[in-house]
Amino acid sequence: MKTLALLTTLIFSVSVFATPSPYSPSSVKLISSGAMNLPSGQVMVGNSAGKAKPVAVSGDVTMSNLGVVLMSDASEDGLMRKRFARVTYDIADAGNDSTGDAALGVTLPANSIITRSWFYTVTQFTDGGAGTVALSCEDAGNILPAQDITGITAGSFTDASQDGAIANFKGGIAADCEVTATVATAAQTAGKLILFLEYFVGE
């Protein structure tokens, strides 16, 4: 009885899992553990022979071994892509509501030339009285000179210092610089803006 049950199971397995074509050992290709090794930060790309080879991502972008892709800061002749930076200044974030400098977490590379700058007011700013805000990268107020911005209503776009005219380009940024907001005279009590910077890297 046990033999009959085992035979029935085997016949069922063959009928269900059999392939439509005869099995050929030569058609089976095993991947060795060594073939699965890949150098840190590289990806597999098919070469001219149709074989997968590890290569590093290069050119306008680089990629870390965490999969993070970054645009290269290198300056070289040839075709270039316009670059943009987005920077948020929110009084609700810790440390942004008092007078002094607030680092905003976005850094422009050395030799950047800012061609356009503007900001969008998400929440209208309020302050303790006659307060000013300046936006800078390396030099004080070189993106937006210190001024009262409490009169700018939410939903408004406002030009900063760089308006696209060559005379107003901001260059001469010698080293990597983090964009900062500087509050003077009176602390800001509410407000949020998003700053947009259009730039390229020179020498």
Domains and CATH numbers, the chain: 83-201 (2.60.120)
User: Which range in 47-51, 75-79, 179-183 is most confidently predicted, on average pLDDT?
Assistant: 179-183
- The model's pLDDT over 50-68, given as tens digits with 9 standing for 90+, comes to 888 888 876 666 777 767 6
Burial of 187 (0-12, 13-18, 19+ CB in 10 A): middle
Strand runs (DSSP E) across 38-109, as ranges?
Answer: 42-46, 52-56, 61-63, 69-71, 83-90, 100-108
Instruction: Give residue 135's pLDDT.
Output: 97
DSSP helix/strand/coil, 25: helix
| Type and span of the H or E element at 5 | helix 2-17
Instruction: Give residue 34's pLDDT.
Output: 55
Instruction: Give residue 50's pLDDT.
Output: 83
Asked if the model's pLDDT at residue 18 lies above 60, the reply is no
Q: How many CB atoms lie within 10 A of CB 93?
A: 13
DSSP helix/strand/coil, 40: coil
- The model's pLDDT over 128-160, given as tens digits with 9 standing for 90+, comes to 888 999 999 999 999 999 999 999 999 999 999
Dig out the tokens for 88 from the structure.
Answer: 């948020």
Asked if the model's pLDDT at residue 197 lies above 90, the reply is yes
How does residue 42 score in pLDDT terms, banded at 50, 70 and 90?
confident
Write down the mean pLDDT value for the chain.
Answer: 82
pTM for this prediction: 0.67
Mean pLDDT of the 170-185 span: 94
How does residue 14 score in pLDDT terms, banded at 50, 70 and 90?
very low
Q: For 24, what's the count of Cα atoms within 13 Å in the CB-facing half-sphere?
A: 6
- The β-bridge partners of 84 are 198
Instruction: Give residue 76's pLDDT.
Output: 62
Asked if the model's pLDDT at residue 10 lies above 50, the reply is no
